Amino acid sequence: MNTIKIAIVEDLEEVTEGLVAFIQQDAMLEHIASYRTAEAAVFDLPIINPDIVIMDINLPGINGIECVRKVKAVAPLIQFMMFTVYENNDDVFEALKAGASGYLLKKTAPLQIIESIKDLHNGGSPMSASIAHKLVQFFMQQNSQTYNNQFQNKAADILSPREKEVLTLVSKGLLYKEIATQLNISFHTVKQHIGKIYEKLHVQNKTEALNKVYGNQH
């Protein structure tokens, strides 16, 4: 059985120890590395290539958001789950813009943390309820337009037919494993297509990709 390989970037030892303890209780998860600083993580993460990084924001030196930005620039397929006490709009949006795909508060229950890791690995975007609510409120205020099933601008022209298929299924809320089943391709191939889509559209996560292709913006 292939495990989900997880790295942790957190300066508080007790928080790291708690996360490792939760992870080790689930046979699907494998803790492969922990870092106390973003500087160490930026150097090492592209080499060890974990599936998911649990990332604190408030770190000594470079903060977690900048760490995500730097690592995603060289290793775009690594998924980041922010794990922090901060829930203000600026931190949430900056983390997502940097390339994070999940955002959990440190008060999140252990079982939810584990389920969120699995959800993220399968193509979801897990977030604490209060964070998800902030995002919904923000987008409702910014633009009431919803996504439709037509590509609305020329951003999609640079995507291959298969990449358009994959992105269309992402826009419908399908997880990576569901996309793989529907298109009769492997989970790994889906992740490769997603990486190519991000690279071609010059985006860091699926929210930015969907906005760029479907949204009435820029």
- What would the pLDDT profile of 45-70 be if each residue is shown by its tens digit? 999 999 999 999 999 999 999 999 99
pLDDT digits (tens, 9 = 90+) for 163-189: 988 998 988 888 898 999 989 999 999
Residue ranges in 4-78 assigned as alpha helix (H)? 13-24, 38-48, 64-74
Residue ranges in 25-57 assigned as alpha helix (H)? 38-48
- Contact at 8 Å (CB) between 52 and 80? yes
Q: Pick the range with the lowest mean pLDDT from 30-34, 106-110, 162-166, 171-175.
A: 171-175
Task: Give the Cα separation of 102 and 47 in Å (integer).
Answer: 22
Domains of the chain: 4-138 (3.40.50.2300), 154-214 (1.10.10.10)
What is the average pLDDT across 65-88?
92
